[in-house]
Chain A
């Protein structure tokens, strides 16, 4: 076979078409591999709602539970704690909870809860995912300065949150802590991961 009879244009066309079809096939074949790394059905099932019994939770105390592998905090706030939320407002980045992704629509923007007394938040810092620690001491005893009204402090990068999980100004965390979907079942049980009835 000599080069004279080669139709260069036809050859180029066939090369491009073959490569193109091959590339499409390659991408299609990659899809199952890439998708196999997404959360499995079991991981998703583990995201099922959890029931938290708060009947033994005393005023001013906090309870830790696990939901979707994340720590969920339940705080029964005292009168003073609720009042402190107003006092710190000027130092907060987003006191009215305007970032929609951080809480469901049915919680109050300021208290960030269904009822002012009971706060439910995901205990994961919105900066880089550390678990902040509770520091409910007030003033200099807390080690966080004279003005500290109680709240949460992230040991990783120094982010501070108030008793409604609202982030302070000038810290690395960009948004308030996440309030998970939750509803009350009777007086003393909270279901985390489910919206209240009647809310879509």
Chain B
């Protein structure tokens, strides 16, 4: 029997690199032996992608992308389709869990400097995946055709209309109509179900290929490939399979317990995963009393809303600060000149266009800043274990700002939901600290007093 199997494998291997691929990416892919808790989230994210694709396929068997029928077809899935409720809740909760896992995965990168050389491209691909995932989630949220689906889409598409000159035709092109309508629903369905999943799978593939080319980072942030044994295997490396495939299995079990607990016992998750206004069918003549995007968009939404006339002087201040940082970091005249010209043009433009437009710009920049991280971070060490107090403080402030922005994005701007200030003021403060984390990074990562990195990885 085993001889037949061996023969069969040989036959395949002569025609397709099966064993070679298995070895390169699993059995002989040497990952650092000191992976900790934070290293679960990459494999978990991939598993959720699979869950979303599978549940999505089964949902499309019953869902109707038609403004007249969409809302009813979701109710039909919930009530009449055998196990339809499970498919839908797995998919809806899965979307939120996807962002939980992705945010933790990104935070891991910030902790251990996984964005630094030579992993810049992995980080960039990851950022593109993040943007594609946001588009995927946003378009998917329109499909149930509830009130929040409809008005959320209306608000976000109107963001494009804020762009000077081309905005209105652009928004019309995206909607395929003068308002969010059947045409919009139909095309969002096409993007959500066909285009973006294909793009996401392709990007994830490239993300992993790039990772396996340079090798995984680790909590110590040191390069394990520098210290190899006689066989050319890193001394601090262990084969991904079976060591990490088994470790990740533990993560999968724990994750599934939490995920399924939410799916079975609180699928709406206190209105955070499924908003109550979305149980009403879309009505183009009436806006819900409070339009709130789903929680994973609220930090960015908060930045959008925080950008009012009052904030513009602070924004100009940030531009000046950015130019100063550029001057400190670059000594050549061309670089300094370019920074000064771009900065001046930016400031002049702030006087020409309305804050509404700048809200969109700042929101966009808050995501673009993530892409620039590998070049903003000048620290000689990767891991937070060997960085000084400055980076630790900056990262803490950044995380707190992000959380407060997210919280404020769920509440009315004029309310008082946190101590001391009005919500909008909190959002404005945190927009500034969010920006400063990135703008000042080329300075504090250089000034920071780092500790010496160890020769070999260790377990802490």
Contacts and interface: CB of A to CB of B under 8 A. Distances in A.
Given A40-B176, A130-B291, A133-B287, 17 more contacts: A37-B176, A38-B172, A38-B173, A39-B172, A39-B178, A47-B178, A64-B285, A66-B285, A69-B178, A69-B284, A70-B284, A130-B155, A131-B285, A156-B287, A156-B290, A156-B291, A170-B309
9 shortest interchain CB distances as A-B pairs = A69-B179, A129-B158, A131-B287, A128-B158, A130-B287, A71-B285, A128-B155, A43-B177, A174-B354
A131 B268 CA distance: 26
Interface size class of A (residues with CB under 8 A): 20 to 34
Interface in B45-64: none
Interface in B281-314: 284-291, 305, 308-309
Secondary structure dominating the interface of A: loop
B177 A39 contact: yes
A57 to B, nearest CB: 17
Interface in B148-195: 151, 154-155, 157-159, 161, 172-179, 181, 183, 187
Contacts of B158: 127-129
B300 to A, nearest CB: 14
A196 interface: no
A58 interface: no
A183 interface: no
Contacts, number: 85
A127 B173 CA distance: 19
A68 interface: yes
**Size category, B interface:** 35 or more
Nearest to A72: B285
A1 B179 CA distance: 63
B433 interface: no
A23 B288 CA distance: 47
A59 B323 CA distance: 59
A172 interface: yes
A68 B291 CA distance: 22
Contacts of A68: 178-179
B236 to A, nearest CB: 47
Nearest to B182: A43
**Most chain B CB neighbours (cut-off 10 Å) among A127, A129, A157, A174:** A129
Contacts of A40: 176, 183
Interface in A44-65: 46-47, 64
9 contacts: A34-B173, A43-B176, A68-B179, A70-B284, A129-B154, A130-B287, A156-B290, A157-B413, A174-B356
Nearest to A173: B356
B308 A172 contact: yes
Contacts of A70: 178-179, 284
A38 B178 CA distance: 10
B414 interface: yes
A139 B161 CA distance: 34
B66 to A, nearest CB: 14
Interface in A17-42: 34, 37-40
Contacts of B174: 37
A157 B286 contact: no
A155 B289 contact: yes
Contacts of B286: 131
Contacts of A155: 287-291
Contacts of A38: 172-173, 176
Contact of A128 (B159, B173, B176, B187): B159
A155 B413 CA distance: 10
Nearest to A47: B178
A130 B176 contact: no
A69 B177 contact: yes
A71 B284 contact: yes
B181 A157 contact: no
A40 B355 CA distance: 33
B155 A129 contact: yes
Contact of B183 (A43, A66, A158, A173): A43
A131 to B, nearest CB: 4
Contacts of B308: 172
A68 B187 CA distance: 19
Contacts of B173: 34, 37-38
Interface string A108-152: 000000000000000100011111110000000000000000000
Contacts of A157: 305, 413
B414 A158 contact: yes
